[in-house]
């Protein structure tokens, strides 16, 4: 049975996005894709997604970071759950767990590329 709300994937790597999309569609989610922050925001304004999978590093290294911050500080969108996807953690120095020291994104969860289908779906199911 298809979920009502969509999952929006914002990632500039079309291959990675396609692979994740396949996993999600196989589990009966409806998915839309955006290749950068701008088209991501356009999609969100057009139709509120039920969950956003957001790549931290796109064209500029802190693109995803900034988009996450903007969404979480916007009354219209702050309640949309965001899962951060990242290929790099230690180099950018971004920590995602609010319990550890240092900066943290106000994201709801994070996944590291690559991720097993089971783990991804487990995390997604918590939100949608």
Partner 1 sequence: MASKERILVIDDEEVIRDSCTQALAKVGYVVKSAENADKGLELLQSFDPGIVLVDLKMPGKSGIEVLEEIQAIDPNIIKIVITGFATVSSAIDAMKKGAYDFIPKPFTPEEIRVIVARGLERRQLLLESEALRLEQERTRKNMISLVSHEFRAPLAATIQYLEVILGGMAGDISSEAKEMIERCDIRLREMLELLGRWISLAIFDADKLSENFKDINLKDLASESIDVLKSMAEEKNISLILDSPEDLPTIKGNKVSIGEVFNNLISNGIKYNKEGGWVKISLSEADGYISVTVSDNGMGIDNEHLSKIFDEFYRVDGRRNAPVKGSGLGLSIVKKMVNAHGGTIDLESEIGKGSVFKIDFPKVFESDNSDKKEEDR
- Indicate the angle between helix axes 63-72 and 37-46, nearest 10 degrees: 30
Name residues contacting partner 1, limited to 46-105 (CB under 8 A): 57, 61, 87-88, 90-92, 100-101
Q: How far is the CB of 63 from partner 1 (least distance, A)?
A: 12
Q: Does 115 bind partner 1 (CB under 8 A)?
A: yes
Q: How far is the CB of 91 from partner 1 (least distance, A)?
A: 5
Stretch of 28-36, 37-45, 70-78, 113-121 contacting partner 1, by CB under 8 A: 113-121
Distance from C-alpha of 34 to C-alpha of 24, rounded to nearest angstrom: 15
Among 59, 68, 82, which residue's Cα sits nearest to residue 7? 82
Distance from C-alpha of 83 to C-alpha of 126, rounded to nearest angstrom: 11
Q: Which of 3, 92 has the CB closer to partner 1?
A: 92
What is the x/- site pattern for partner 1, positions 14-43, by CB under 8 A? -xx-xxx-xx--x-----------------
Distance from C-alpha of 51 to C-alpha of 54, rounded to nearest angstrom: 10
């Amino acid at each position: 049975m298809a979920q009502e709300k969509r999952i929006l994937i914002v990632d500039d790597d079309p291959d990675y996005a396609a692979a994740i999309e396949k996993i999600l569609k196989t589990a009966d989610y409806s998915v839309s894709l955006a290749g950068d922050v701008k088209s991501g925001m356009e999609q969100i304004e057009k139709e509120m997604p039920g969950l956003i999978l957001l790549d931290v590093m796109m064209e500029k290294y802190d693109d995803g970071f900034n988009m996450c911050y903007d969404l979480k500080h916007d009354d219209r969108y702050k309640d949309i759950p965001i899962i951060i996807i990242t290929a790099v953690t230690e180099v950018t120095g971004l920590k995602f767990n609010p319990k550890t020291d240092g900066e943290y994104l106000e994201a709801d969860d994070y996944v590291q590329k690559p991720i097993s289908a089971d783990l991804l779906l487990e995390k997604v199911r918590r939100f949608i």
